[in-house]
Amino acid sequence: MRAGALVLVATLSACGSDTPSRPTLSTPFPPVTTPLDGLYDLVITPGAGCGLPGAPYEVSVVVTSLAGSGGTEMRATLPGGDATLVLEMVYSPPGWLQGSVSTRTFVLADASNIFVRASGSGKVSSAAGGRAEVESGRMNGDVSVDVGGGDVLSCSSLEHGWALRAR
Amino acid sequence: MPRLPKIPAARSDRPEPSSGRGHALLALALVLALGGCGGEGPPPAVPQLVSPVGGATLDTDTPVFTITNARGFDSGEASYTFRVVVASTGRDVASVTVAAGPSQTAVRFPDPLLRGATLGWSVVGRDRAGSEVASGSASFRLPPVDCRSTSDPYAKAVVGFWVPATCLAVNSYNDPEEALGPPDAGQLPNNAYFGFVSLGDGGFVDVDMEGCAIDAEGADVRVLQSVSSEPVTLYASSSPAGPWVLVESRKPCGQRNPGTFSRRCEFDLAAAGIEEARYLRVQDGELFPCPGGTDTEGADIDAVQILSVKP
């Protein structure tokens, strides 16, 4: 009888404590600070509601990282240093890329000719082989696609998606 | 899993009269019937937001966010991404991903969040198979923005600057301090320019206005931009280190501004759901790859002006 009462009192008093336990703070996953370098697939996914045909658009790019005015930055062009399409981005803060994706003229991405003028950001993540990539970023601006016959469809959005997938 | 209260007197390795064991079982049943301490029950189907509670006004820029884990998305099973947005517009403020804690998951963002707007927060849990489960959302506010009292509406200091190296190499106007003060850009008889900074392809300059722009009727911020009509994108923040929240994207910046060499474009903080901001990021919105054949690649920023200065 006494033991049972003790259990009941102890249990109820614990429930009535004025100092509820606080959960332990989880530590955020550390940023991936490996710079992107080498051959990647740039994937551009027009924002929801754009309805552009042939999306998402995928094109091979070559990425180099270098020291710049705001810290380490990266530049990506089409293979062979072809600057018809360029990504200019800065690692700020570390593990995070922000900057722009732009084309001078229409660029062939898979079977679609696209034209892009957008800026945005994305988190750097780890890829196979010790490399880094951007799995999913967002950008605002314009994405256009040549639908043939001299017609172009364009979409302005604050939520275009982009990715740089290591090849 | 719910944590059950410990019942030391009921341990089976301790000799005990049967009547005492019976009372212990009675106590256990009572506690279970009451639902355990603090209203704990079975894990919810989706993550439950615990704190900050909806509508809270906090006294810190780095609050702790706490959730109750969803069933099947507990410690060792899942991670949670905590996302903070401007409540009225959904504009991104910050996000962070952590491993699930036991029963509950709590995190403090590594950097301060945004003042000067009502914020919303939510979480998405992701298990090892890639399945996701999303919470509802709740709103909260941080303390007011630290605004200095001033009647001078122009930018006072540069707190950040980035122009791609390939653009810096060809541009002649690379001093970000030229974006400070009232508009003073112009052109010399030899066709050279003065009084602005060229931002290149997607570059930006971050300025401290010292005073704050408030969301008033109509436009709140004006950017004076030179040479031609390059578009400009504007972000706002309450801190020199961000987070930077998009206000408006790629606004054409070619409207003539009487009395100045530069042209103008204007921005409304309401587009971002921001009520007041002290720091502004002016980003090139032309977005043309360098080199582009000129020495003024990108938007050319002469001045940044608050149209609605907080009194």
pLDDT of residue A81: 94
Rounded to whole angstroms, how far apart are CA atoms B111 and A118?
26
Rounded to whole angstroms, how far apart are CA atoms B7 and B236?
55
Kindly indicate the confidence band of residue A111, based on its pLDDT and cuts at 50, 70 and 90.
confident
Q: How many CB atoms neighbour CB B99 within 10 A?
A: 16
| Residue B249, phi-psi category: left (phi > 0), alpha (psi -120 to 50), beta (remainder) | beta
Q: Would you call A92 and B162 a contact, using CB atoms and an 8 Å cutoff? A: yes
Please state the domain extents for chain B: 48-141, 157-306
The residues with which A39 forms a beta bridge, in sequence order, are A62
Residue numbers of A between 107 and 136 with CB closer than 8 Å to B: 117-119
Q: Would you call A11 and B9 a contact, using CB atoms and an 8 Å cutoff? A: no
pLDDT tens digits, one per residue of B31-71: 333 333 444 689 999 999 999 999 999 999 999 999 999 99
pLDDT of residue B277: 98
Q: In terms of pLDDT, which residue wins out, A102 or B8? A: A102
Are B29 and A4 in contact by the 8 Å Cβ rule? The answer is: no
Average pLDDT score over residue span A82-102: 95
3-class DSSP assignment, residue B122 = strand
Instruction: For A104-132, give the secondary structure using H, E and C.
Output: CCCEEECCEEEEEEEEEEEEEEECHHHCE
Residue numbers of A between 59 and 88 with CB closer than 8 Å to B: 66-71, 73, 75, 83-86, 88
Q: Would you call B27 and A119 a contact, using CB atoms and an 8 Å cutoff? A: no
How far lies B244's CA from each of A84, A162, B95, B238, B267, in Å?
A: 29, 19, 13, 8, 15
Residue numbers of B between 189 and 248 with CB closer than 8 Å to A: 200-203, 233, 246
pLDDT exceeds cutoff 80 at A150 = yes
Average pLDDT score over residue span A146-165: 95
pLDDT of residue A33: 92
Question: DSSP labels for A38-88?
Answer: EEEEEEEEPPTT---TT-SEEEEEEEEEEEETTEEEEEEEEGGGEEEEEEE
Q: With the CA atoms of B171, B172, B176 and B181 taken in that order, what torsion angle do they form, in degrees rounded to the nearest 10?
A: -130
pLDDT of residue B41: 80
Kindly indicate the confidence band of residue A22, based on its pLDDT and cuts at 50, 70 and 90.
confident
Rounded to whole angstroms, how far apart are CA atoms B240 and B232?
20
Which residue is closest to B97 within chain A, CA to CA? A28
pLDDT of residue A75: 96
pLDDT exceeds cutoff 60 at B87 = yes
pLDDT tens digits, one per residue of B192-228: 999 999 999 999 999 999 999 999 999 999 999 999 8
Q: Would you call B101 and A24 a contact, using CB atoms and an 8 Å cutoff? A: yes
pLDDT of residue A3: 45
Q: Is B22 part of the contact surface with chain A (CB cutoff 8 Å)?
A: yes
The residues with which B141 forms a beta bridge, in sequence order, are B57
3-class DSSP assignment, residue B38 = helix
Amino acid at B187: Q
How far lies A7's CA from each of B17, B29, B31, B204, in Å?
A: 14, 12, 11, 65
- The CATH classification of domain B157-306, taken from the options 3.40.50.1970, 3.30.70.20, 3.40.50.620, 2.60.120.260: 2.60.120.260
Q: Is B249 part of the contact surface with chain A (CB cutoff 8 Å)?
A: yes
Q: Would you call A119 and B19 a contact, using CB atoms and an 8 Å cutoff? A: no
pLDDT exceeds cutoff 60 at B22 = no
Look over chain B and give the mean of its residue pLDDT values, rounded to a whole number. 88
Chain A residues in contact with B10 by the CB 8 A cut-off are 7
Question: DSSP labels for B173-196?
Answer: ---GGGGSSS---EE-TTS-EES-
pLDDT exceeds cutoff 90 at B278 = yes
pLDDT exceeds cutoff 90 at B20 = no
pLDDT of residue A21: 65
Chain B residues in contact with A141 by the CB 8 A cut-off are 249-250, 285, 287
pLDDT of residue B5: 34
Q: Is A141 part of the contact surface with chain B (CB cutoff 8 Å)?
A: yes
pLDDT of residue B18: 38
Considering only CB atoms, A23 lies closest to which of B106, B160, B250, namely B106
Instruction: Indicate the helix (H) or strand (E) that contains A100.
Output: strand A96-103
The candidate with the shortest Cα–Cα distance to B147, out of B243, B236, B33, is B236
pLDDT of residue A67: 82
CATH architecture assignment, domain B48-141: Sandwich (2.60)
Question: Mind telling me how many Å the CA of B265 is from chain A's nearest CA?
Answer: 17
3-class DSSP assignment, residue B128 = coil
Q: Would you call A15 and B34 a contact, using CB atoms and an 8 Å cutoff? A: yes
Q: With the CA atoms of A159, B232, A86 and B245 taken in that order, what torsion angle do they form, in degrees rounded to the nearest 10?
A: -40
Chain B residues in contact with A67 by the CB 8 A cut-off are 165
pLDDT of residue A28: 87
Angle between helices B18-34 and A2-15 (to 10 degrees): 20
pLDDT exceeds cutoff 80 at A113 = yes
pLDDT of residue B17: 34
| Best A63, A69, A116 residue to mutate vs chain B (most B CBs within 10 Å) | A69
Q: Would you call A4 and B22 a contact, using CB atoms and an 8 Å cutoff? A: yes
B133 is written with which tokens?
């489960």
Chain B residues in contact with A118 by the CB 8 A cut-off are 287
pLDDT exceeds cutoff 60 at B12 = no
Instruction: Name every residue whose Cβ is closer than 8 Å to that of residue A21 and which is 6 or more positions away in sequence.
Output: none
Q: Is A13 part of the contact surface with chain B (CB cutoff 8 Å)?
A: no
Q: In terms of pLDDT, which residue wins out, B172 or A28? A: B172
* b/e sequence A153-166, b meaning 16+ C-beta within 10 Å: eebbbbbbbbbbeb
